[in-house]
Structure formats: C-alpha cells, structure tokens
C-alpha cells in the first residue's frame, strides 16, 4: 500500500473521532470493517491486502494516540462517569468496557480510583424504580437485590443500600 492509502485511513480515523470518542479497539475495528468492503481482488490477494490494511491501521491508530486525538485512559474515565450517571454499577461498566476491547486491569484501576459514590447511586436507582419500598418483605428484598445485581452493583453496595432502607 502507498502513502495515499495511509492518508485515506487517517482521514477515516479523524472523521470517526470527530463524531465521538472511540477506544483504540473500536476505531481499529471500524476502520478495518470500512476498508474491507472496498477490497476487490482475488482470494489470495485479499488476505495479503487485509494484513496490509491491519498494519496500516495500526500505524494510524498509533499516530492518533501520539497526537493525543485518542486516549484509552480518558475514554475509560469518561465512560465510567457517563454510565454511572445513568445508574449502572461497577460490574456492568467493567463488562461493557471489556466488550469494547479495553484492558481489564486499567478499567479496574480507574473504577477503584473514581470518586463515585456507588451506594448512593444504587439507592437513587432503587427509589426511582420502586416508589414504595418495604424492606421487611422478603419477596420485595429479593426483587431489590435482583434489580441491583442486574444493574451491575457489587454485593457491598447492595448491603449498604439495604442498610439504608432498614
């Protein structure tokens, strides 16, 4: 591939980054998916060009990172705040970030460093979901626990919320 192709990849990366933040994994996949559709050649040449595309894309991603147009750490921090504000817990956010191809150790580190009051968020979600809560009712307690687990809250957060209710 030539310099012209590298510029095309860079232009696509800039276009995607201008729309919203992307992780390096997401951006790589979107670029490869976009340009794979444009490869028109024999089957033998296809895999060779696909490998070349992956190499070129990797170079462009590295360039974007060096230019500070894209930063996985900042992306994770913003994502944590955004999803926490929507009422999701640590486990759910960590799982979503893992699905987006971000490093688990970095995600866990940033989740621990975040100054989000997870118990308060869980309590807020409960009050929003259940208008009246009878914490003494065992069936109601099971519904509350199940709701908070599906939202991705930890057992400690759930215990804290339950203690607030009683």
Domain range list for the chain: 3-66, 72-113, 118-165
Predicted confidence at residue 56, as pLDDT, reads 92
% of the chain at pLDDT higher than 90 = 66
The pLDDT tens digits of the residues spanning 35-67 come to: 988 877 777 788 888 888 899 999 999 999 999
Q: List, as one string, the DSSP characters of 60-98.
A: HHHHHHHTTS--HHHHHHHHHHHHHHTT--HHHHHHHHH
Nearest to 79 by CA among 56, 61, 53, 99: 99
Write a three-state SS string for 23-56. CHHHHHHHHHHHHHCCCCCCHHHHHHHHHHHHHH
Q: Which residue has the tokens 């607030």?
A: 164
Which pTM was predicted?
0.84
CATH no., domain 72-113: 1.10.10
Is residue 154 within 8 Å of 91, Cβ to Cβ?
yes
pLDDT at residue 19 above 70?
yes
CA atoms of 138 and 65, how far apart (whole Å) = 52
The pLDDT tens digits of the residues spanning 96-124 come to: 999 999 999 999 999 999 999 999 999 99
The pLDDT tens digits of the residues spanning 142-154 come to: 888 999 999 999 9
């Amino acid at each position: 591939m030539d310099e012209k192709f590298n510029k095309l990849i860079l232009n696509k990366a800039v276009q995607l980054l201008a729309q919203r933040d992307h992780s390096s994994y997401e951006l790589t996949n979107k670029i490869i998916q976009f340009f794979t559709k444009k490869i028109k050649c024999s089957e033998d040449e296809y895999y060779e060009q696909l490998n070349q595309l992956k190499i070129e894309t990797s170079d462009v991603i590295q360039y974007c990172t060096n230019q500070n147009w894209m930063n996985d750490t900042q992306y994770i921090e913003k994502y944590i705040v955004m999803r926490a504000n929507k009422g999701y817990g640590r486990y759910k956010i960590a799982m979503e970030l893992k699905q987006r191809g971000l490093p688990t150790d970095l995600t866990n580190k940033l989740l621990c460093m975040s100054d989000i009051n997870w118990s308060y968020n869980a309590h807020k979600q409960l009050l929003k979901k259940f208008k009246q809560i009878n914490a003494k009712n065992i069936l109601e307690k099971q519904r509350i626990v199940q709701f908070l687990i599906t939202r991705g809250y930890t057992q400690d957060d759930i215990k804290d919320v339950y203690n607030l209710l009683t």
